[in-house]
Amino acid sequence: MTKQPILQVKQLQKQFPLYGPFGKLGGVKQTVHAVKDVSISMYEGETYGLVGESGSGKSTTGRTILGLTEATAGEVIYNEQDLTKLSKAELRKFRRDLQVVFQDPFSSLNPRQRIGRILEEPLIIHGIGSKEERIEKVFSMLEMVGLQNEHFYRFPHEFSGGQRQRLSIARALIVNPKVMICDEPVSALDVSIQSQILNILKQLQQDMDLSMLFITHDISVVRYISDRIGIMYLGTIVEEAPTEKLFTNTLHPYTQALFSAVPGKQKRERVILKGEIPSPINPPPGCVFHTRCPFATERCKNEVPALREIGIEGSQHKVACHYAEETKQWSN
């Protein structure tokens, strides 16, 4: 029996209109193609890592999946419902199952409320438990993320960056969600604190049978925490595979360049990319990577490569490159 995904994203697109000096009265002048035809399947208890350089559309993808940003096209299927077709009132019913941890925890915590109230609020909104049960649940979550009971009475400004991120995780998990999207949750933290937060996430995922979409630009972090990884470039997925398979058999030229830039003890050929990532306002035709790819041909400039499975059937290794079998493979 084929395992069914808990969350399925199909051909997701997000475009942002750019207006002239007169705003909407002057009409749309240009369009930002932030996310283009992204398809992701997430399974129960799995961590899917989404990696790419700044401006590749990772965070926009996460926000669009959650409905925080309205999708231009595509589907987000959860519990047999297409979330992109629901009204705000209908989508609110699914908020308990779909939670998010943002990159900057301080901006998502109300500075005027004590931590106990901040963590209790999701339970109140979703009508979970009595007052006594909610308070007990808050103390329990504080302990689960490595904080103490005395923190219940403090304000957000009294915590360090790592502690505030723990609070964000506690607030997201207190309603027992099925899927959690982590948008660069450790990028602003010291390395020692990063490892603590990652270990907390892994432990809580096992305890709560949680599925996670982990968005990051850090290759080492995504390798540690992810079961599968998708590599994103200019709004599209260019390669996807189980974590160790991707690191031992890297196929797409962009992934090779990305991984070769990671400091480490392994001997690897450094791949230097020329130029900058193109503007999403005017993306190149054909393969989105052809302007920087050392293997690009005329076919790459005119024909969009499909994200296709490589190797034996069921390998789960997909790559969007016309010449994936011919390019030099890099292994770690």
| Interatomic CA distance for residues 231 and 236, integer angstroms | 8
Q: What integer is the mean pLDDT of 106-122?
A: 91
Tokens read off for 99: 């939670």
Work out the mean pLDDT of the chain and round it to a whole number.
88
298 vs 10: CA distance, rounded Å: 29
Q: How many CA atoms lie within 13 A of 35 on its CB side?
A: 25
pLDDT over 70 at 331, yes or no: no
Give whichever of 32-46, 186-200, 312-326 has the largest mean pLDDT.
Answer: 32-46
Specify the amino acid at residue 2: T
Under a CB-based contact definition with an 8 Å cutoff, are residues 211 and 43 in contact? yes
Collapsing DSSP states into helix, strand and coil, what is residue 133? helix
pLDDT of residue 327: 65
Bridge-based pairing state of the strands 318-319 and 236-242? antiparallel
The pLDDT of residue 316 = 87
**Residue ranges per structural domain of the chain:** 250-332
Distance CA 183, CA 82 (A): 22
237-251 pLDDT, tens digit per residue, is 999 999 999 988 889
HSE on the CB side for 162, CA within 13 Å? 16
User: Any idea which of 65-74, 206-215, 302-311, 321-330 has the lowest mean pLDDT?
Assistant: 321-330
Q: Which tops the pLDDT comparison, 260 or 143?
A: 143
What mean pLDDT is predicted for residues 125-140? 93
Do residues 219 and 187 lie in contact, with contact meaning Cβ atoms separated by under 8 Å? no
pLDDT in tens, 152-179: 999 999 998 889 989 999 999 999 999 9
Residue 265 pLDDT level (bands cut at 50, 70, 90): very low
Percent above pLDDT 90 for the chain: 57
What pLDDT is stored for residue 1 in this prediction?
A: 42
Total-model pTM: 0.90
